Structure 1
Amino acid sequence: MTIDSTIRASLSEDFAVQTARLKELTEINADTGDPAQAHDRAALLAATRQSLEQISGALRRIADGTYGLCQRCETTIPEERLEVLPHARFCVPCQQKHHG
């Protein structure tokens, strides 16, 4: 499967955005003493780290030539799915089995 340079560029751009967000979130030292605000910040940090992990994984798969292949059944992930979810690791049937 040939990787559209648009997908690679989009993933790289998303990676830069998420990296900047993570840096911003980790540099915020304003502890207001509000547990809800601390919880929200922790949730944002976790979501940003997860997003970076997913994007990094997709970029690694592009580099090693496995991008677009389901990591479970090794069939080709439909292009439409990758356009919507460029970091997808599984085809839809395997994703449904993976998450019940």
Structure 2
Amino acid sequence: MSVDIEVPDQGRLAGLRASLSEDFATQTTRLKELTEISADTGDPGEAHNRAALVAATRHNLEQITGALRRIAEGSYGRCEKCTGPIPAERLEVLPHARFCVPCQQKHKG
């Protein structure tokens, strides 16, 4: 999916919004299933794996929610740090990207 940052294509954004909404529903169902699993097998490794899956799923939901919020606000595709455009190629790979590559590298470093 290609995202034009300078002149947002409403059709593309609508498609992206629909895709993210579908991902949100899938992740919400996954989180519900993971948190409802109450069978304690006594295996600490299994409990650790389940906790890691719950944390990863919550993180995915936060990223999806953030991207949907930015689309609604009209700031999608803009770096939250420098406000420059995030390249369409980056958004195709990471539709929830909040930063351009240089700012992401500074943020992580």
TM-score interval, smaller chain:
over 0.9
Which residues of 2 match residues 38-77 of structure 1 at below 5 A? 38-77=47-86
Which residues of 2 match residues 15-94 of structure 1 at below 5 A? 15-94=24-103
Structure 2 counterpart SS, 1:86: coil
- TM-score, normalization by structure 1: 0.96
Shift of 1:65: 0.6
Structure 1 counterpart SS, 2:52: helix
- TM-score, normalization by structure 2: 0.88
Structure 1 counterpart SS, 2:96: coil
Shift of 1:8: 1.2
Shift of 1:7: 1.4
Gaps of 5+ in 2: none
* Consecutive aligned runs of 4 or more in structure 1 exceeding 2 Å deviation: none
